[in-house]
Amino acid sequence: MFDRRLAQHFDWILFGLSLVVAGIGLVALYSAVTAGTQTGDKALFNKQLMWYGIGLSVMVVSFFVDYKYLDKFAPAIYVGTVVLLVLVRFFGVVGGGARSWLFLGPFNIQPSEIAKLTVIIILARYYSRVPTANGYTLRELIKPILMTVAPFALISLQPDLGTAILLGLIAVAMTVFAGIERRTFLALGISCALIVPIVWSFFLRDYQKQRVLTLLNPDRDPLGAGYNIIQSKIAIGSGMLLGKGFLKGTQNALSFLPEQHTDFIFSVLAEEWGLLGSAAVLAVFFFLIICGLRIAYGCRDIFGMMIAVGVTAMLFWQVIINVGMVMGLMPVVGVPLPFVSYGGSSIVMMMLGLGLLINIRMRRFMFE
């Protein structure tokens, strides 16, 4: 089963890039959790280190299982994920305002993170099995839409808006990539344009509207998101060209940054390493994404290609939303920066995603 050719085609570049980005993440996290405190919260750092270890092991294991098995097991994986999401509704633990954690022995897991990969797999299976010449029609899209809506709704209810939006964006990216028939595309576009104002004026309550508006324009909430964004912009900008140096970020050390080890970790990084450092980090992410797309390009079966596109889309959206948010370009939604933000489930799932990409790359010349 294991072929020497597999090792030959191993994508060292992608693997190397993911180690680099993980290394950057550890440095930034170290600064975020230690600066400004006498003792420092080394426990968080050590925990993150452990998560990287687990993520790396999961990644290595994933090399050896042919991704084509995923096609076979996709329905089971999907059902399992939805069950986990339902369980979390009833037995979940509240963290950060949302009921999104499930206790599994010593670890807490976030089924919503698993759901992202699950949706990628199930949509890849659908789009690879249902052939299309001129793009999918509405009737053909009903199934994938329903398959996305179920986990999307469950995650929105937690309520973890950031992850739900991400899930939706990944599904949209994959579907647009798979191709939508021209008239269907128009029809969907027009109905969205009609539905949004109707929902807005008849179904949303005032406080819900306020929340959406604040999301789009943080200045509406000067005591919460608005203040966070101001301080985050000050942090990033004050890094200037070369940065203030490792552990020297004052915005970070004086606790002006909110959630500095999770959602706002890019600000810590930009403050301490300046334009050179933060642009380098962006470049690493850019190359990771291009690598992912190249793997999709080289793949000769549509299932593998779709998975590669989906995983790359996941990476892309998270980077764009997170970095865009801390720089004041995007709405303030809680999306972690891949590999860098603190958080076990996110890291393990990202590593697994990259493992899948490498897996696909390794098998590009293999046949059934």
Partner 1 sequence: MSIKNISNFSFRLSSILQAPGIDRYRQRILFVMLAVSGVFMILLGRLFYLQIIQGENLRRQSEINSIRLQYIAPTRGLIFDRNGQLLVDDRPSFDLAVVRKDAKPLERTIENLSRYIGEPAETLMEKISERKGGSPYQPILLRKDIGRDLVAVVETHKYDLPGINVQVKPIRNYIDGKLAAHLIGYLSEISAKELGKEKYSTNRAGDFIGKVGVEKVYESFLRGERGGRQVEVNALGRVVRVLNSVPPKPGDNIYLTIDEALQEKAEELLAEKLLEGKAGAIAAMDPQTGEILVMASSPAFDPNIFVSGLSDEQYTSLITNPQKPFRNKVIQDTYPPASVYKIVTAIAGLEEGIVDAETEFNCTGSLFFGDRSFRCWRWKRGGHGNLNVVQALAQSCDVYFYKVGIELGVDRIAWYATACGLGEQTGIDLDNESSGLIPTSAWKKRRFNEVWQQGETLSIAIGQGYNLVSPLQALSLTAAVANDGDRYKPQIIHTIKSAEGEVLYRSEPVHLGRLPVSQKNLDLIKTGLREVVAGAHGTAHDYAYLPEIEISGKTGSAQVVGRKKSDEEETASENKDDEITRKDHAWFVAYAPSDQPRIAVAVFVSHGEHGSSGAAPIAKEIIRVYLEQGEDG
Site for partner 1 in 38-77 (CB under 8 A): 38
**Contact between 275 and partner 1 per CB under 8 A:** yes
- Alpha helical stretches, state H, 130-181: 138-156, 161-178
Q: Give the tokens for residue 294.
A: 């190249």
**Contact between 19 and partner 1 per CB under 8 A:** no
Backbone φ and ψ for 159, nearest 5 degrees, come out as: -100, 125
Among 199, 219, 245, 248, binds partner 1 (CB under 8 A): 219
**Contact between 113 and partner 1 per CB under 8 A:** no
The answer to whether 117 touches 352, Cβ cutoff 8 Å, is yes
**Contact between 231 and partner 1 per CB under 8 A:** yes
**Contact between 223 and partner 1 per CB under 8 A:** yes
- Cα dist. 137→146, 178, 196 in Å? 15, 12, 22
The per-residue b/e assignment along 184-204, b for 16 or more CB within 10 angstroms, e otherwise, is beeebeeeeeeeeeeeeeeee
The separation between the first and the last C-alpha atoms of the chain, rounded to the nearest angstrom, is 12
Q: Give the tokens for residue 114.
A: 């698993």
Site for partner 1 in 285-344 (CB under 8 A): 285-286, 289-290, 293, 296-298, 300-302, 305, 309, 316, 320, 323-324, 327, 329
Looking at the Cβ atoms of 25 and 292, the one nearer to partner 1 is 292
CB of 316 to partner 1, least distance (A): 6
**Contact between 216 and partner 1 per CB under 8 A:** no
Among 227, 247, 284, 331, binds partner 1 (CB under 8 A): 227
CB of 123 to partner 1, least distance (A): 14
Question: What is the rounded CA–CA span in Å between residue 163 and residue 341?
Answer: 14
Site for partner 1 in 183-212 (CB under 8 A): none
CB of 31 to partner 1, least distance (A): 15
The neighbour count for residue 2, using CB atoms within 10 Å, is 8
**Contact between 358 and partner 1 per CB under 8 A:** no
User: What's the chain's length in residues?
Assistant: 368
CB of 266 to partner 1, least distance (A): 10
Long-range contacts of 281-286 (CB under 8 A, 24+ apart): 281/21, 281/24, 281/340, 282/319, 282/323, 284/17, 284/20, 284/21, 284/24, 285/21, 285/315, 285/319, 285/338
Looking at the Cβ atoms of 53 and 159, the one nearer to partner 1 is 159
Looking at the Cβ atoms of 8 and 201, the one nearer to partner 1 is 8
Among 27, 233, 246, 331, binds partner 1 (CB under 8 A): 233
Which residues of the chain form beta strands (DSSP E)? Answer: 93-95, 98-104, 107-109
Q: At what angle do helices 12-34 and 42-64 cross, to 10 degrees?
A: 170
Looking at the Cβ atoms of 235 and 349, the one nearer to partner 1 is 235
Binding site for partner 1 (CB under 8 A): 11-13, 37-38, 94, 97, 131, 133, 177, 179, 219, 222-223, 226-227, 230-231, 233-241, 250-251, 254-256, 270-271, 274-275, 278-279, 282, 285-286, 289-290, 293, 296-298, 300-302, 305, 309, 316, 320, 323-324, 327, 329, 365, 367
